[in-house]
Amino acid sequence: MTKPKQNQSLSRFILLLMTTAIAATAANLYYNQPILPLIANEFNLTDSQLGSIPALTQIGYAFALLFISPLGDSIARRRLITILSCLLVVACSAAMLAPNLPLLLISVFLIGVSANITQQLIPFAASLVSGEQKGATLGTLMMGLTIGILLSRTLSGFVGEQFGWRSVFLMSAVLAALFGILLRVFLPSNKPHTNLRYWPLIKSTLALFIKHKSLQHFTLSGAFWFASFNVLWATLAIYVSNEPFNYNAQQAGLFGVIALAGVIGAKSSGKWVSKLGSKALIMIALTLAAIGFAITGLFNGSLASLVIGIILIDFAIFSAQVANQVRVFSIDPTAQSRINGIYMLGYYIGGAVGSMIGVKAFALYQWHGVVAVSIIFILLSGIFNSFAKK
């Protein structure tokens, strides 16, 4: 009797609302990157001080994955999302008004924490549909996530250039308030799956990771392919700013538009999960990603090969992510927030490691080093995926 009611709760309108809210919320993690030079000019910051702004945003997000995400299993998700939305409005407003770097750093850390709204909506939607619908539903949600990630820098750069960097945080605060109200009004209510208190809940999150070997395999596989993805995007702007491209920052940013191929991958892969299975689909995606990296390396310095490679890589990585999350959410329906939190924490740790290693590889061996490291990460991802049973 409960399944039909749950499936009915996720109407097309609510799915669209969740998808757009995910896009708007995820964008907060990247809004500050294009406006860093503007912030540096106003506060007279060094490079290391400036780098702490995006770093604190990501640290806040990672903190929330471990310490906030599990609350989705013990607190009604609509209530939790409302609290996080209020925090996001306050944090963005504080960043807009920040008179100095310390207060700005506190604000962007809280922005990263409150962006956990994204990781509450994804498991919430997954819990409202049947197993057969999970692939298509997650494909739609990942489309929103992809759009938010890829277009956030373009939007932020334009608004910041035209109206100043503080206007970017004003825009973010307004969007957070708007979606906070809409989500509060239209999201269905749900009953928490556990009544554990906070610290036992956090401990149970780690216990779930130890208990489920499949979760370990899924997490490690995802961490390694996301590492390869970040190797690419951490070094791409540096690569194309040199010979033979000599692109400026605005031109380099246009590669994010090319990467929208990942949106197509995220959407279409949801339909193929039920036909091929997650394990097989991920292996196909990883093969495509390796081919994409190889093309950019074999035809080093060619714009056409770089464009083709980026399209293949983004299509593959976001397709693999949808397939992986389908099986992650199938592990334990009563602990989806905790399982998703620990999975995404591993995913973003992999991304951070990939960024650091990618920049080092480029400094030592230029683009061929980037390609080699990326393919190694893809191979490691494939090994852990092969251990998975489904």
pLDDT of residue 189: 86
Question: Of 165, 192, 219, which one is at a domain's C-terminal end?
Answer: 192
Q: How far apart are CA 118 and CA 364, in angstroms?
A: 37
Q: Model confidence at 284, in pLDDT bands (50, 70, 90)? A: very high
Task: Tell me the average pLDDT across 26-37.
Answer: 87
Q: Are residues 379 and 288 in the same domain?
A: yes
Query: Is residue 383 pLDDT above 80, yes or no?
Result: yes
pLDDT of residue 241: 80
Would 197 be classed as within a structural domain?
no
User: Do residues 281 and 272 touch, judged by C-beta distance below 8 A?
Assistant: yes
Q: Are residues 147 and 294 in the same domain?
A: no
CATH number of the structural domain spanning residue 19 = 1.20.1250.20
Hey, what are 158's tokens? 């334009």
pLDDT of residue 2: 38
Would 199 be classed as within a structural domain?
no
Q: How far apart are CA 272 and CA 257, in angstroms?
A: 25
Ranges assigned E (strand) in the chain: none
Give the tens place of pLDDT for each residue, 187-224.
998 888 788 889 999 999 889 999 999 999 999 999 99
Q: Are residues 235 and 135 in the same domain?
A: no
CA distances from 8 to 11, 43, 128, 316 (A): 6, 51, 8, 31
Q: How far apart are CA 251 and CA 313, in angstroms?
A: 20
Q: How far apart are CA 292 and CA 34, in angstroms?
A: 26
Residue 289 CB neighbours (<10 A): 29
Q: Which amino acid is at 282?
A: I
Q: Are residues 213 and 107 in the same domain?
A: no
Q: Are residues 147 and 234 in the same domain?
A: no
pLDDT of residue 277: 87
Among 222, 169, 170, 244, smallest CA distance to 339 is for 222
Among 215, 217, 219, smallest CA distance to 227 is for 219
Give the residue with greater pLDDT, 359 vs 250. 359
Query: Is residue 8 pLDDT above 60, yes or no?
Result: no
Q: What percent of the chain shows pLDDT beyond 70?
A: 96
Among 305, 315, 303, smallest CA distance to 251 is for 303
**Overall pTM surpassing 0.85 (yes/no):** no
Q: Model confidence at 150, in pLDDT bands (50, 70, 90)? A: confident
User: Do residues 147 and 97 touch, judged by C-beta distance below 8 A?
Assistant: no
Dihedral sign of CA atoms 108, 51, 259, 154 in order: positive
Q: Are residues 39 and 140 in the same domain?
A: yes
> What CA dihedral angle connects 33, 35, 40 and 45, to 10 degrees?
-20
Q: Are residues 141 and 228 in the same domain?
A: no
Give the range of the structural domain holding residue 356, as residue numbers without chain letter: 206-390
Q: Model confidence at 353, in pLDDT bands (50, 70, 90)? A: confident
Q: How many domains does the chain have?
A: 2
Give the residue with greater pLDDT, 235 vs 86. 86
Cis previous bond, 200, omega within 30:
no
The one-character DSSP state at 242 is S
User: Do residues 226 and 348 touch, judged by C-beta distance below 8 A?
Assistant: yes
Query: Is residue 298 pLDDT above 90, yes or no?
Result: yes
